[in-house]
């Protein structure tokens, strides 16, 4: 790319403003709406590593999810697409200072500043996690101090674009993220990287803001990953004497190797951090006065964002027109299903889900929730929720379907098994590793021989992500042996399992 390039016949690139492992960022201009924008491109070399169509689909999905994240601490997403061989996302252009530069120029920051900064980050993470969105690459170069003192978290969704294709629960390659800030389960390539991986990265960031250096250091990326897996958790209080003991304890908890030992949520961490933010910082929750000069050295310029609830009900907007009240015919039901699937093909998942949900509310009481046509429509609805990234709602719908499909067709019916697998998919997407393992193992009990190979791989990956590396290696050893002795086992699948096994062994040995 070069200055003057026009994207989508709308965005003119003006100058490069950043680059990193995921790609390059340009300042640009939206000619249609007369506003400055930032345009981020996925590095072409990375795009070549996976099937281009699948990467593009994942990219658009993550962009849609990120665009729905309405929070003052997240830059607004305006557009996304493909130009030539490059994927791009257009977002709000944020003015300010990267925290990586702030640390480099100022060294360790005052405790009240760090507490207020951390609280703002937690506010963003709580909103994102409630929307089933995990950052996966939280670090100082993805955090910016705006000119008004508001912290912005950059690149939500971008780091996930090349991550594993979780709806299939498969391994696609190396873990996505930055080794200095990567949670142990992420370093192990787990398909169950959830909200607590972001909390681990937050612990690394808070440690660095207080100590002026990250919690772990090594000469190689593999060495760093080994430190995250095996090294004793450091105490930031050992680096500076004025860190309160309870704040030190909080950061140690955030850096716990086992995700279940970390705090329960970003909202819970937010509440703890408020104890160490100075009173005058807390008083600046409201925006600074108009025309006030922003002083980046003043803690008064760290207004705290709103705290989302631990559990946020996902609701959809009401229709702009009243829904028809007539009883839908069987043909009407099929028309809505066909229309919803057509909308899904156009990636208008929210509109497709709304259409099916509205129809089901009227048709299910008439035909029965367990009638074949209604069950099929409910399967469509659940699948579209999954595609839309609304995993929490999808789990509820799939669980209801398991009960009703079992009652009609029996527990061994193919549709029942498919729903159980999708439940595990959603649980893995939400970072609920224990629940995903339970679901997968129940399926494995009824999947003999080669039919169970994919499930065994998924179970081993999640087991490793929980820090049980030795157990995962034993599972993979047995899987490799069984695959080699099974005629017709796909060689590519065997290569994937073997590569994962060697990756885990290297991490366990520290390189």
> Using alpha carbons only, what angle is made at residue 128 by residues 195 and 181, rounded to the nearest 5 degrees?
45
The answer to whether domain 96-301 and domain 330-509 are alike in fold is: no
Say how far apart CA 399 and CA 391 lie, in whole Å: 12
8 A C-beta contact, residue 269 and residue 201: no
Query: Which are the contacts of 64, defined by CB distance < 8 A and separation ≥ 6?
Result: 80, 347, 349, 388, 389
Query: Which are the contacts of 334, defined by CB distance < 8 A and separation ≥ 6?
Result: 373
Task: State the pLDDT at residue 247.
Answer: 96
CATH code: domain 330-509 is 1.25.40.10
Q: Token pair of 357, please?
A: 């949900």
Task: State the pLDDT at residue 317.
Answer: 32
Q: Write out pLDDT tens, residues 311-353.
A: 222 233 333 333 345 678 989 999 999 999 998 888 888 888 8
Which of 202-211, 318-327, 476-485 is predicted with the least confidence, judged by mean pLDDT? 318-327
Is residue 281 over pLDDT 50?
Answer: no
Query: Of all helices (H) and strands (E), which one includes residue 40?
Result: strand 35-42
May I ask the CATH architecture of the domain 96-301? Orthogonal Bundle (1.10)
Q: Write out pLDDT tens, residues 116-166.
A: 999 999 999 998 888 888 888 899 988 998 877 789 998 875 544 444 333
The fraction of the chain above a pLDDT of 90, given in percent, is: 44
Higher pLDDT, 223 or 350: 223
Task: State the pLDDT at residue 320.
Answer: 31
Q: In what order do the strands lie in the sheet with 11-19?
A: 6-7, 11-19, 23-30, 35-42, 86-92, 77-83
Predicted confidence band of residue 307 (pLDDT cuts 50, 70, 90): very low
Domain boundaries, the chain: 6-92, 96-301, 330-509
Q: At residue 88, what are phi and psi to the nearest 5 degrees?
A: -140, 155
For residue 502, give Cα distances in angstroms to 49, 107, 118, 420, 497.
Answer: 20, 39, 37, 30, 9
Say how far apart CA 25 and CA 39 lie, in whole Å: 6
Q: Stretch 183-210: mean pLDDT, rounded?
A: 89
Predicted confidence band of residue 67 (pLDDT cuts 50, 70, 90): confident
Active site (annotated) includes residue 101: no
Higher pLDDT, 323 or 12: 12
Higher pLDDT, 36 or 169: 36
CATH code: domain 6-92 is 3.30.200.20
Q: Stretch 77-90: mean pLDDT, rounded?
A: 86
Task: State the pLDDT at residue 158.
Answer: 54
Task: State the pLDDT at residue 490.
Answer: 83
8 A C-beta contact, residue 385 and residue 398: no
Q: Token pair of 57, please?
A: 């689909």
Q: Stretch 3-14: mean pLDDT, rounded?
A: 91
Task: State the pLDDT at residue 283.
Answer: 44
Q: Say what angle helices 349-367 and 372-387 make with each other, to 10 degrees.
A: 160
Task: State the pLDDT at residue 491.
Answer: 84
From 9, 70, 101, 137, the catalytic residue:
137
Which of 12-21, 82-91, 242-251, 430-439 is predicted with the least confidence, judged by mean pLDDT? 12-21
Q: Write out pLDDT tens, residues 485-504.
A: 998 878 888 888 998 898 88
Predicted confidence band of residue 382 (pLDDT cuts 50, 70, 90): very high
Place of tokens 């090294």: 231
Average pLDDT over all residues of the chain: 81
Task: State the pLDDT at residue 285.
Answer: 33
Task: State the pLDDT at residue 327.
Answer: 75
Higher pLDDT, 317 or 408: 408
Q: In what order do the strands lie in the sheet with 151-153?
A: 96-98, 143-146, 151-153
Distance between terminal CA atoms of the chain? 37
Q: Stretch 467-496: mean pLDDT, rounded?
A: 89
């Amino acid at each position: 790319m070069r200055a003057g390039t026009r994207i989508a016949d709308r965005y003119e690139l003006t100058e490069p403003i950043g680059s990193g492992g995921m790609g390059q960022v340009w300042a640009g201009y939206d000619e249609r709406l007369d506003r400055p924008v930032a345009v981020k491109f996925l590095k072409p070399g990375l795009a070549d590593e996976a099937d281009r169509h699948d990467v593009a689909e994942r990219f658009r999905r993550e962009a849609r999810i990120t665009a729905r994240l309405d929070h003052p601490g997240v830059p607004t997403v305006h557009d996304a697409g493909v130009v030539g061989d490059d994927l791009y996302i257009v977002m709000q252009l944020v003015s300010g200072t990267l925290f990586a530069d702030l640390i480099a120029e100022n060294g360790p920051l005052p405790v009240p500043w760090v507490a207020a900064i951390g609280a703002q980050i937690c506010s963003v993470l709580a909103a994102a996690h409630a929307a089933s969105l995990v950052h996966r690459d939280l670090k100082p170069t993805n955090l910016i101090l705006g000119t008004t003192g508001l912290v912005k978290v950059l690149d939500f969704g971008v780091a996930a674009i090349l991550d594993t294709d979780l709806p299939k629960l498969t391994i696609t390659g190396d873990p996505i993220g930055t080794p200095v800030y990567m949670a142990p389960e992420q370093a192990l390539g787990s398909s169950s990287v959830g909200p607590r991986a972001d909390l681990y990265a937050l612990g690394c960031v808070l440690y660095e803001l207080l100590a002026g250096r990250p919690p772990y250091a090594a000469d190689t990326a593999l060495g760093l990953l080994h430190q995250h897996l095996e090294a004793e958790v450091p105490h930031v209080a050992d680096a500076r004497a004025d860190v309160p003991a309870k704040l030190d304890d909080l950061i140690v908890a955030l850096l716990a190797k086992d995700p279940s030992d970390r705090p329960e949520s970003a909202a819970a961490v937010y509440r703890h951090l408020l104890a160490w933010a100075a009173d005058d910082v807390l008083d600046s929750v409201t925006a600074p006065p108009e025309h006030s000069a922003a002083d980046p050295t003043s803690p008064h310029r760290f207004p705290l964002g709103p705290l989302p609830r631990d559990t946020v009900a996902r609701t959809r907007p009401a229709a702009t027109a009243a829904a028809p009240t007539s009883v839908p015919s069987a043909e009407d039901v099929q028309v809505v299903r066909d229309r919803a699937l057509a909308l899904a093909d156009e990636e208008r998942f929210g509109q497709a889900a709304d259409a099916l949900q509205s129809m089901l509310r009227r048709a299910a009481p008439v035909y029965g929730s367990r009638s074949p046509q209604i069950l099929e429509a409910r399967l469509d609805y659940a699948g579209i929720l999954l595609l839309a990234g609304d995993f929490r709602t999808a789990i509820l719908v799939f669980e209801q379907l398991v009960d009703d499909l079992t009652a009609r067709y029996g527990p061994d019916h193919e549709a029942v098994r498919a729903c159980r697998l999708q439940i595990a998919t959603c649980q893995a997407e939400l970072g609920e590793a224990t629940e995903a393992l339970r679901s997968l193992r129940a399926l494995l009990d009824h999947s003999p021989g080669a039919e169970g190979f994919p499930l065994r791989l998924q179970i081993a990956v999640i087991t490793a992500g929980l820090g049980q590396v030795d157990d995962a290696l034993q599972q993979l050893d047995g899987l490799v042996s069984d695959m080699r002795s099974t005629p017709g086992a796909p060689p590519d699948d065997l290569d994937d399992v073997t590569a994962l096994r060697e990756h885990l062994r290297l991490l366990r040995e520290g390189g």
